[in-house]
Amino acid sequence: MSDTTTSSPRIVGEHQAILNCNRPQNAFVNTDVQNRFPCTTILIHGVNDLGTDFGTVEGGLCEGLNDRLGRTDFKGAEYSHGRMANDPSQVSVADMMKNMDDVIYRRQESEETRSPLIPFYWGLRVGKEDLPRDPNKETVNGQYVDRFGNRLDEHRARNGGFFANATNNIPDMFDSNFKGGMATKILDRMQGDPTHPLREAENRHYMVLAARRLAALVRQIRLIDADGTVNIIAHSQGTLISLLAQAYLVEGLIPNQCGPADRPADTLVLIDSPYSLSEEFMDRLLQRGDQQQTTYARAKTLANLVGHVASGKYPTPPFDQLKYEPGRDNFGVVGPTWDPAQARRLSGPQGNECVVFAERDNRGKVYMYFSPEDATVGLSGVNGMGCSGLPDSIDVRAAQQGGKPETINLLSAAFRQRVFTRRLRQGKPVQVGTPPGNFTIREKGETSHGLPGGFTTWIKSAQISVGTQRNINGEALTPPFDPEMEGNVLPGTAATPLSKNNDGEFAPGKQAIDQLEAEIALSTNSGEGALQALPAQTIDWPTSEDGTLPTSTEVEASLNAGKGPDDQCKVSRVVSTVPPSPGHIVVYRQETLNEAKVRLMNQHKGESSYHSAVMSGRRNHRCATAFDVSVGQARALDDPDWATLLRAVADWRTPMSRIDKLTKAHTNLDEQTLHIIRANCEYYDQGNFPGEDVIPKAFPAGVVSETIEMRTDEINKQVRARSPHHMHG
């Protein structure tokens, strides 16, 4: 075990004893001290996400690490939230959160919290150039919007950026955006989901800033503890950001000035990744055109970045030295039942069955979790590996002159995949962690993604051919388990057979929406998102001497007196009761903003896309993720002051004033780390995107860019070179 220490003095254990005269010097009192952490695990979300499932992932990870390491002290933090997707209860105006964006899904530690997890947040801050020029158009139904109509929070920001701005490759994150136009409007109308509107969006380079910040965080951890074991669990777009961060860690945040801390994360777990090897027709037709990345560039980049992690496999601390032996302190990283080869854990429904499992050193590995039912990554135009998995290898050819056919190996001992599916086969769930082998993604009689048939589904979804197989080379888990895929759907809504002829597939379950999704819908001001006229209401109102009715303006002012903006309404008409009733009038009014949110949250029940199914299943992380991450040491998290600072740095919304306050005890916080943090804080505060000294425009080593235009130009050159006119010219 490495014995790197940190600078914060603290109590790690205490005990009381009676002081006696002439007490022998060797009369000791045993004092329990806190066990040290086995790893630092960073969790990063995807687009349009505030970290909705972070609490589930952290809780499952902590439970699984207890199982794996023979410990009992790990416990995840809680995360603030309102009504969740799987909660059938009705909400009222009293349940609406004020300043929602500043409180929802925020991590909250208790005295019992003991966790190796750092939640990493990223997003878009809209600059002045992309805000509405007309002050009267800054808000729609109480929601701030950009000039394209995308909903923003009060800081003019959006955590994770917009849903439509997701990418399926890395070069597109540098200088491109989701385009608007008539085709986008038609797509938006086809999908019919006001909580995920499709609008033109800003430049995606904020994703590159996220990758630089992530790399700086990993590097800072290693500057504190050179032998620190660092994992990254990433979801959706966060998987691409995490892969890009590895390139910056290998190249160095300051190119050509790499030190011991400039090395990749030990293990990546990529969940529901949109990364695609395909040149998708819909993407080319509607978005990227001839600037679409080729299959060669996509495959080469993926292999290169996974190769960075594999080649950076780090040997310290030695895996076998984590085990406690007399005369060698393992600092409580693992319990007495742990062994580097064969460890023991409790299992069974009551947790009272002891099983032996094969422990493994996961440093230098990338794991990819995919789900065929992921209808988001499975969209036509995306077709990500998080839905269809990866083949063992792919045959490609570079477009450049002299490029020769080559086979790029994808899966290996360092790149492993697991499949999570809600399908039944032979009437039973497809378990995760069975011995490695080939798996048929789509058998005869099954659909591509577990969706009802029809023209719209066929247009929207990338198709998976019957008989398509994938090599599930993730190591066997003891015991294998049934995946938890319905964790974020309403109870009882996911049991309807998809068709009479197929009893192994079920129609997608339904989901409730949270307050954030309701506010996004309101920002569209269309369909369900438009404010509704309420039925006539009879209210008390003093009768005038001459019997005249009050004006709509007078009634509106009375109803809104002393209320906040979200509880005010517009009155359209006032009439007398029929028959006339002294002291009463009939009012026709529009719903308030909070009433509209309540209506949406209580009435809108959308189909689950299952894009977050793996993330939202606590069992998945207890039984798989916790056994796929690396364990070693985490001196940075052992120090509570450093842990607080690192978690603050990992949230792009943390103001610089708080970071400055936390860094007073840490004068050795790296200058390059601070440089990136300050640039990010200015971006979040003012909307000024960092310059090229923070966000280089050039791709880092390992990221290959080749567009269809480049390939076409090269083909045309070769054709001209071979033409008779050229030969005799």
What mean pLDDT is reported for the chain?
A: 91
Task: State the pLDDT confidence band at 241, using cuts at 50, 70 and 90.
Answer: very high
pLDDT digits (tens, 9 = 90+) for 64-74: 999 999 999 99
Could you say which DSSP state residue 365 is in?
A: E
- In the three-class reduction of DSSP (H, G, I as helix; E, B as strand; rest coil), residue 527 is classed as helix
Structure tokens at 481: 């388990």
Query: Does the structure show a pLDDT above 60 at 257?
Result: yes
* pLDDT (0 to 100) of residue 665: 66
Please say whether the beta carbons of 498 and 447 come within 8 A: yes
What local confidence, expressed as pLDDT, does residue 728 receive? 47
What mean pLDDT do residues 407-427 have? 97
Higher pLDDT, 345 or 520: 520
Please state whether 385 falls in left (phi above 0), alpha (psi between -120 and 50) or beta.
alpha
b vs e for 260-278, b when ≥16 Cβ sit within 10 Å of the residue's Cβ? ebbbbbbbbbbbbbbbbbb
> What pLDDT, on the 0 to 100 scale, is given for residue 12?
60
The pTM is what? 0.93
Please answer whether residues 515 and 597 qualify as being in contact, where contact means their C-beta atoms are separated by less than 8 angstroms: yes
H or E stretch at 538: strand 537-540
Q: How confident is the model at residue 8, as a pLDDT?
A: 56
Confidence band, pLDDT 50/70/90 cuts, at residue 627: very high
Is residue 372 within 8 Å of residue 466, measured between CB atoms? no
Q: Cis before residue 535, ω within 30 degrees of 0?
A: no
Q: Residue 460 has what pLDDT?
A: 79
Model pLDDT for residues 113-169, shown as the tens digit of each residue:
999 999 999 999 999 999 999 999 999 999 999 999 999 999 999 999 999 999 999
Of 170-179, 275-284, 327-336, 568-577, least confident by mean pLDDT is 327-336
Lowest mean pLDDT among 354-363, 395-404, 426-435: 395-404
Average pLDDT for residues 621-639, to the nearest whole number? Answer: 97
pLDDT at 435 over 90: yes
Minimum mean pLDDT among 169-178, 344-353, 656-665: which range? 344-353
pLDDT confidence of residue 31: 63
What are the DSSP calls for 539-575, one per residue?
A: EE-PPPTT-PPPPHHHHHHHHHTT--GGG---EEEEE
What is the structure's pLDDT at 666? 61
- Distance (Å, whole) CA 644 – CA 637: 9
Whether the per-residue pLDDT at 729 is higher than 70: the answer is no
CA–CA gap between residue 37 and residue 35 (Å, rounded): 7
pLDDT at 532 over 90: yes
Burial tier of 87 (Cβ tally within 10 Å: 0-12, 13-18, 19+):
middle
Q: State both tokens at 53.
A: 């499932």
pLDDT at 4: 45
* Percent over 70 (pLDDT), the chain: 94
Tens of pLDDT, residues 471-497? 999 999 999 999 999 999 999 999 899
Q: CB within 8 A of 318, min separation 6: which ones? A: none
Residue 625 contacts residue 62 (beta carbons within 8 Å): no
Domain ranges for the chain, please list them: 40-125+201-513+608-686, 533-590
> What is the rounded average pLDDT of the residues 34-42?
95
Tokens found for residue 634: 């985490």
pLDDT of residue 543: 80
CB 83 within 8 A of CB 511: no
Is residue 595 within a helix (H) or strand (E), and if so which, with residue range? helix 593-603
CA distance 158 to 122: 9
Check residue 27 and give its pLDDT: 65
Q: Is 453 exposed, middle or buried (0-12, 13-18, 19+ CB in 10 A)?
A: exposed
Q: Which of 25-39, 434-448, 568-582 has the lowest mean pLDDT?
A: 25-39
- Residue 5: its pLDDT value, please? 45
Region 569-598: mean pLDDT is 94
How high is the pLDDT of residue 498? 87
pLDDT for residue 353:
78
User: CA 620 to CA 481: how far, in whole Å?
Assistant: 8
Cα–Cα separations (whole angstroms), residue 80 to 105, 106, 649: 5, 5, 20
Q: Given this model, what pLDDT does residue 364 score?
A: 98
